[in-house]
Structure 1
Amino acid sequence: MSQPEITPLYDIMARLRTPVSGCPWDLEQNFATIAPYTIEEAYEVADAIERNDMAALKDELGDLLLQVVFHSRMAEEAGHFGLQDVINAICDKMERRHPHIFGDRSIDGSAQVVANWEAIKEAERHGKSEDKSAMADVAKALPALLRAQKIQKRAARTGFDWPSVEGAFEKLDEEIDEVRDATTATEMHEEVGDLLFAAVNISRHLGVDAEVALNDATAKFERRFRGMEAIAGDAFEKLDLDAKEALWRRAKIETAAK
């Protein structure tokens, strides 16, 4: 099989961004306007994987690759860096963070690979950033649950963590009480946030990915709700809560059997 060639895609983007003769929409874009599409394409890749749809995955990976080329082209136009610089940088990083493959370091299993990766990453961060905090460079644009997990992991690496999950459970109980006691909209906002953060802490201690777990729980709820609607038909919205609870129990059994 021949080596993949990214030049045609680069040439297409260069033509789209050519002043006057290029595409008006593409020419109007900047990093900030394209960023939401980049995030959206990453989610669509994840969705194709979740559905095990390889044809869709091929298309979505192409859309995601286009985002890399688009950002790189805009950066090149502004004199910052080009696509080749992006490729060189990630190649250097992958070799640097795999010293057991590209260097002489020995490892014992995948857990040590992860530990080495994090240690190298932290050394890189401290070497190039003026922000020396353990919280440095945790992206603010991450989904809230994922960012909470990363922030908590960073804190835990400094020793600031519950010694066991029991402390996290006690904190969750405390936060539930504080939500109940909240009286103003501001207090409710703050306490619900603290409650969610405490729940993420429990998931982290249990080795559960909070983002994935919530997505799975939401999908399960949607399946069961659709099951309720299918059973009741057009009469669903007119049913009282007791009838809908009965439908929920039935849908729970039927969807679990599929």
Structure 2
Amino acid sequence: MSNSREDQLEAFDRLLTIMDELREQCPWDRKQTMQSLRHLTIEETYELGDAILDNDLVEIKKELGDVLLHIVFYAKIASETNDFDMADVANEICEKLISRHPHIYGDVKVENEEDVKRNWESLKLKEGNKSVLSGVPKSLPALVKANRIQDKVAGVGFDWEEPKQVFEKVKEELAELQFEVEKGDKDTMESEFGDVLFSMINYARFLKINPENALERTNKKFIKRFQYLEQQAKALDKSISDMTLAEMDVYWEEAKRL
């Protein structure tokens, strides 16, 4: 690994050159549009997210390269229509970072991270955003979106004061859900279930827990244990669907101890 800025710039220039060559000479690369790349970019981002959750630095490096390729690819496509190029992309984010960090590049004083977040949201409104929430992508998965919504409104002071207040809200929402379950109205039950999830995500924020990471951690844990159960069923020459719940539970408890 090289820490030299010169080496880093040389490597990035190499990537730009390869992108130019591929766009000109490769039938597949030449055919791509921003629209055709979009779903692939989303896929690459999720693969990067998986590598980060696994704390696999080798894979993180590879997946960062894939994401970087997509960024360069979009810029190359836009340069062909004289809309913008890679320099414009880099300069745009540089200017944004400078303007959003007046405590570094200006004379604004901050005491902590929360001050920085409040300044960030305030500056976005001054730049023309109609709402604090206008920057939350509509296509985000609901759990991630809820977390971003709560984080953004907290950045302008719309928040609870203590974690115990949020936990009381969780209990309140659970009670309301149970009430609707007993009534049996599916539509209202769904609404109340959403309120429970939203309040739990808010509670996670107060506990400094990323709810997406927490749920994915549980997903991975469940998959590992269930696959152990499947392996044991196979060793017994049984289909897992033929096992009783009591039999399954024995192996499930074994899996939890692994």
Say if 2:86 is the partner of 1:83: yes
Counterpart pick for 1:168 among 164, 167, 170: 170
- Superposed displacement of residue 106, structure 1: 4.7
Give the distance between the partners of 2:91 and 2:160, measured in 1 at CA.
Answer: 41
Identity %: 38
> Which of 19, 23, 48 is the matching residue for 1:17?
23
How many residue pairs align between the two structures?
245
- Structure 1 gap ranges (5+): none
**2:250 matches 1:246:** yes
Partner of 1:26: 29
CA-CA distance at 1:34 after TM superposition: 1.4
Residue 182 of structure 1: CA displacement? 4.1
With over 3 angstroms needed to count, the CA separation of the structure-2 counterparts of 1:32 and 1:128, relative to structure 1, is farther
* Pairwise CA distance, 1:148: 0.4
Contact 1:17 1:26 in 2 (8 A): yes
Are 1:162 and 1:168, in contact at CA under 8 Å, matched by a contact in 2? no
Q: 1:214 offset after TM fit, Å?
A: 0.5
TM-score (norm 2): 0.80
Query: In structure 2, what is the Cα distance between the partners aligned to 1:95 and 1:3?
Result: 25
Counterpart residue type for residue 142 of structure 1: L
Q: Flag the 1:11–1:178 CA change in 2: closer, same or farther, 3 A.
A: farther
Q: Which one-letter code corresponds to 1:139 in the other structure?
A: P
Distance 1:95 1:202 in 2: 32
- Paired with 2:214 and 2:88, the residues of 1 have a C-alpha distance of 37
Structure 1 residues 154, 107: CA separation in 2 closer, same or farther (over 3 Å shift)? closer
Contact 1:179–1:188 (CA<8 Å) still a contact in 2?
A: yes
Residue 81 to residue 128, structure 1, CA distance change in 2 (3 Å): farther
CA distance in 1, matches of 2:250, 2:216: 25
Question: Residue 59 of structure 1 aligns with which residue?
Answer: 62
Cα deviation, residue 67, structure 1: 0.9
Alignment of 1:115 onto 2:115:
yes
* Corresponding position of 1:146: 144
Of 61-70 and 35-44, deviating more is: 35-44
* 1:237 match: 241
Paired residue type of 1:9: L
Question: Could you say if the C-alpha distance between residues 138 and 68 of structure 1 is closer, same or farther in structure 2, counting changes exceeding 3 Å?
Answer: same
Deviation (angstroms), 1:183: 4.1
Q: Call closer, same or farther: CA 1:115–1:202 in 2, change over 3 Å.
A: same
The amino acid that maps onto 1:115 is D
Q: Taking structure 1 as reference, are residues 93 and 3 closer, same or farther at Cα in structure 2, changes over 3 Å only?
A: farther
Q: Is the 8 A contact 2:225 2:255 kept in 1?
A: yes
**Whole-angstrom CA distance in 2 between matches of 1:157 and 1:178:** 33
